[in-house]
Amino acid sequence: MKSYEVNFDGLVGPTHNYGGLSYGNVASQSNSQQGSNPKEAALQGLAKMKALMDMGFQQGVLAPQERPDVAALRKLGFAGTDAQVIQLAAKQAMPLLVASCSASSMWVANAATVSPSADTADGRVHFTAANLNCKYHRSIEHPTTSRVLGAMFADQKHFAHHAALPAVAQFGDEGAANHTRFCRDYGQAGVEFFVFGRSAFDTRYPAPQKYPARQTLEASQAVARLHGLSEEGVVYAQQNPSVIDQGVFHNDVIAVGNGEVLFYHEDAFLETEKMLAELQGKLGRRGGNFQSICVPRAQVTVEDAVRSYLFNSQLLSRVDGSMLLIVPEECRGNERVWQYLQSLTSSGGLIREVKVFDLKQSMQNGGGPACLRLRVALNETELAAVNPGVIMTAPLYDTLTQWVGKHYRDRLCESDLADPQLLLECRTALDELTQILKLGAVYPFQIN
């Protein structure tokens, strides 16, 4: 039976704005308070989805969330009608209103960790929604994320869903941004690679000093247990604390993997040689041939990697076995990074081609191509069981493009977030989107 890696990209929400909410994310903080263009952001994301679909890759869509999150503001003591809640928050605690308006659910690499059926004990595809408890504006996402994923992957014969881990620092979980899977074929048993920034209970592991380590070892281990993964099918690795302190807030900012290949920066991990040997041994015992491409710091610095998002790329397998790297336009704008990529593709190695996409609206908030997609390995039977409304087609692309044009603003500033009309616009848009994507009642609001 044929198997695929399906990329489900997050659809940018109508309240996309630059709130500078993500401490430790250089791009997010450096572009704080700038005006954003939600319409352009959504169209840039859709253009990438359409391009990958046209290249023959399986592509899906993950819906955005209701923002501002009035229910979250009510839990913080703001009362009255929805409009009054928004206006009170704007007057008394504008940072909380900004956080409740964040469109960060667009970065669905943080939505969940996914293990394919070939790896799990019960032979189902397992999903664990990420608690994202390191940042308030993201910690409010997982209840809706779980409902959306449940509506997309509803058949319990093939799919299993787990609630987010306890929302405490010891079990900080940032989802697939710190998880990669290596395999000979997407339908064969593979090795799941969990990267953590710190240990919550074992002080022998070092930790960053400037920025927080968002993923804990204990969270990664808990997800592996929930998914029924075997010891032979899992490798844990620690991210280098010094690169976290340089703005590498997730592993997908410093490494990316696909198939049998890991593409990583020289400074990405601690105990790199030991980690590579374990990956090679475990994948070898599952019939694979693990290979790695190390980018030397002498050619590309960590600062270059963070500013260009070289590693926040999509590494995709072509039919002929060669690999394609999807990178943001910022890579072409960095001389050292672009020179490295040119030498990489001309060397005749594993990565034969680089394609560049303009994702500036997302990039300015700290999310590149890899942030925008959640990878789900599915066999033909499982793919047929996915809600067909979320699988990208040419007609769906046209419909979503028209939907964005109808509902999205082309300019959004912080002061606009205090306008109750923005909430109505978002709800109206999402009410229509649930019908387009056949999601059912995944949002708790009602349009009156």
As given in the structure block, the two tokens for residue 145 are 């994320």
Q: Is 314 helix (H, G, I), strand (E, B) or coil?
A: strand
Task: Note if 174 is an active site residue.
Answer: yes
Helix ranges (H only) for 290-355 are: 302-308, 329-332, 335-346
CB of 397 closer than 8 Å to CB of 83: no
Sign of the dihedral through C-alpha 429, 430, 431, 432: positive
Check 5, 66, 174, 260 and give the catalytic one: 174
- Integer Cα distance of 398 and 166 in angstroms: 40
Check 101, 183, 371, 426 and give the catalytic one: 371
CA angle in degrees (0–180, nearest 5) for 424-85-150: 60
The amino acid sitting at 373 is R
As given in the structure block, the two tokens for residue 202 are 């074992």
Half-sphere exposure of 35 (CA within 13 A, CB side): 10
Check 137, 158, 250, 265 and give the catalytic one: 250
Sign of the dihedral through C-alpha 360, 421, 70, 96: positive
Q: Is 42 helix (H, G, I), strand (E, B) or coil?
A: helix
Active site positions, annotated: 174, 250, 371
